[in-house]
Structure 1
Amino acid sequence: MRVSRVHDPFLRGQLAIAALFLSLGFQYATWAARIPALKSDLDLSAAEVGVLLMAAGVGAAVSFPLVAWLMRRMGSRRLGLLSQLGLALLLLGLAAAPNYPVALLVMCADGVLVGCLNVAMNAQGAALETRHERNTMAKLHATFSAGSLLAALLASGMTAATDSVAAHFGVAVVLLVALGASARTGLLDDEAPADEAAEEARADAAATADGKPAGRRWTVPSSLTLWMCCAMVFGTVAEGAMNDWSALYLKDVAEASAELAPLGIAV
């Protein structure tokens, strides 16, 4: 069923936003499942694979100031669609990377676009809940995991059919473009970014007129915030170790076949 043919506005929005969540999980697991092949094609050591994975994390970390600016300028709808398309095309760039430095640049760009899509699609989900006063975020995040599962299964099937990473990623790109097209008509429209900027300017002017300093001052995070940050860091390390390295572990250490290695992510 196409999103545009769904008459319930909540369900239509939910399906469209779910397509973005599904896309992010699918794109991520697609390249993660083929790390053994990328390692072989680029003749990388385990340490170089670790730096390649870190490049994506660095891109995501440094993207947040850019994401905040893009959200104000473009809104979550446009940013979500463009970053989803960009992530799809980056799979082709990774498959065609002639050497390690180019692969590092591609992965860094991947991290930036992941940050953009992550913020945009969660903003869409939060807006949908607020507009309709119904819960959906748990289902949307489950859709991300479903995307990872589907990508791992596709990787296993494509690896059994061909050794070509480019052919596999080409099929994945077609599916991702179809997901983006299906989501386009159902995503929520944002308020005009210019109106938001004008509203912020009026609020700052009013605060200054009342004798209060405009803008926000930096404050030391509370101990609870710091503990939550630590929990998120350790959780991300554990999750990343399982997802990013499982295919390589199964192939190099457990001596699994190439078509079986992606199933570690599926499990």
Structure 2
Amino acid sequence: MVVQRLPPRSGRPRPHWLRRQRALPDQGPLERALRMRDEFRRSQLSIAALFGFLGFQYSTWAARIPMLKSSLDLSAAEVGFLLLATGIGAAIAFPIVTFLMTRLGSRRLALLACLGLTLVLLSLAVVPNQPIALAVMLIDGVLVACLNVAMNAQGTALEVKYERNTMAKLHATFSGGIFVAALLASGVTAVTTNLLTHFVIGAAVLVALIVFASGGLLPTDLPTTEKQATEKQAKGKLTIPTGTIAWLAVAMVFGTVVEGAMNDWSALYLRDIIGAPAAVLPLGIAVVSATMLITRLFADARRAAWGDRQVVLAGATIAGTGLALALLIGGLVPTLIGFACVGLGMAAVTPCLYAAAAKQGPNALTLVATMGTLGLLAGPPAIGALTNATTLLYGMAAVALSAYLVTACTTQITWTKSPTTHPVPAPD
């Protein structure tokens, strides 16, 4: 026990901070490890709250699209434009996010984006017409891009600081947020169809997540390397991404094309090509989503054992091969197994790509995240155009090819390891 001795008393009163000093125990290696483990857990849960926030916010308003359509008297085409506005907002947000990340840092940007998205959710409940709704959705897209970059920057900084892989678990929390919001939407709709009531309840959940997240977010981002320092000197100039950043961006496009296409086309494939009954159609997206969620919960251990490069190579290959074999064999059971291979293989691909991009600097992360949004936005329509020209079988074959293209891009990427910091020897 080490006792901090106080100086002898004099006529002047001691400062309040000195009066409160007490004996402090000596901190050995075990105590330091336990303290760092607690700090890691606190930050991990706070950052996970950001991922859960984004999934919950998106799923809350997406679940009430039919009600928005009715309340605003929109046609199917106008609903499509409404959804497209979000994608456009995210796609044009690159310079905005780059500027805000430089000025605010990921912690403040994430919290401000969360506050903005909460207001967006409440605004959607009271928008009077389509033009205002389009403006709100455009803002939603910009704020989603801000939060997407900021929370992935926080997740990567956490991995580097404590030398522990956690990005896959964080992305699993995003999927969990979507699931919880869908359950809440179902429960609220069973009681009342009032949109404002639902969104006020959703906003209350979002505020609780903001409060929880604010206590443990990391105050600083990854340190700027010598290579990234040139970004500050190139303000206002057009810079060409390095080869690694370009390949990361292309890989992210193809990776998100696979995820988005499976969400949009799996049920139609089961109906039109396999001839599955209506009751079985939801199993397509359910199989992909469930396997992806479960795999993300345990993928960080594989990242630690194999490294991100091998995880992406193996995952994209499993997804492409499983889906290709399912298309060749046909039948309901082989198809569902192939869909499960897609969820299993692609689960850790985008978390690894985000982590690799964040290590290249905030501009690289912003670019790669924007390209990911582009893949989600343009991928499913591109598959639809191919399907209209041929059949959905060829459209799904293009999805399998996209997974293989992720593998090809991965071989061209220079993967960096986390710098040596202070490891935390506690199990996950």
Q: Compute the TM-score of the two structures, normalised by the length of structure 1.
A: 0.77
Superimposed CA distance per residue, residues 189-232 of structure 1 (whole angstroms, 9 cap, x where no aligned partner): 02699x99xx9479859xxxxxxxxx774269799668635524
Which residue does 1:98 correspond to in 2? 128
Which residue does 1:33 correspond to in 2? 63
Structure 2 residues without counterparts, runs of 5 or longer:
1-35, 266-277, 279-285, 291-428
Aligned residue for 1:96, secondary structure, equals coil
1:9 partner letter = E
Which residue does 1:17 correspond to in 2? 47
Which residue does 2:77 correspond to in 1? 47
Which residue does 2:416 correspond to in 1? none
Out of 177, 181, 187, which is 1:157 matched to? 187
Aligned residue for 2:125, secondary structure, equals helix
Which residue does 1:75 correspond to in 2? 105
Equivalent runs, 1:132-211 vs 2, <5 Å: 132-190=162-220, 200=229, 204=233
Pairwise CA RMSD: 3.3
Out of 147, 150, 158, which is 1:120 matched to? 150
Equivalent runs, 1:53-68 vs 2, <5 Å: 53-68=83-98
> How far did residue 172 of structure 1 move?
0.3
- Report which structure shows greater RCO (CA 8 Å, sep ≥6): 1
From the CA coordinates, give the structure whose radius of gyration is larger: 2
State how far apart, in whole Å, the 1-side matches of 2:111 and 2:138 are. Answer: 19
Which residue does 2:341 correspond to in 1? none
Change (3 A) 1:14 1:191: closer
State how far apart, in whole Å, the 1-side matches of 2:116 and 2:81 are. Answer: 22
State how far apart, in whole Å, the 2-side matches of 1:11 and 1:219 are. Answer: 35
State how far apart, in whole Å, the 2-side matches of 1:189 and 1:38 are. Answer: 39
Indicate if the aligned counterparts of 2:55 and 2:178 stay in contact, CA closer than 8 A: yes
Change (3 A) 1:70 1:202: closer
Structure 1 moving runs of 4+ over 4 Å: 201-205, 219-227
User: How high is the sequence identity, in percent, across the aligned residues?
Assistant: 55
Structure 1 residues without counterparts, runs of 5 or longer:
1-5, 206-214, 243-253, 255-263
- 2:274 is aligned with 1:235: no
State how far apart, in whole Å, the 2-side matches of 1:226 and 1:78 are. Answer: 25
State how far apart, in whole Å, the 1-side matches of 2:53 and 2:104 are. Answer: 20
Aligned residue for 2:111, secondary structure, equals helix
State how far apart, in whole Å, the 2-side matches of 1:7 and 1:225 are. Answer: 31
Aligned residue for 1:189, secondary structure, equals coil
State how far apart, in whole Å, the 1-side matches of 2:123 and 2:177 are. Answer: 21
State how far apart, in whole Å, the 2-side matches of 1:62 and 1:202 are. Answer: 20
Q: Compute the TM-score of the two structures, normalised by the length of structure 2.
A: 0.49
Out of 102, 105, 108, which is 2:138 matched to? 108
> How far did residue 235 of structure 1 move?
2.7
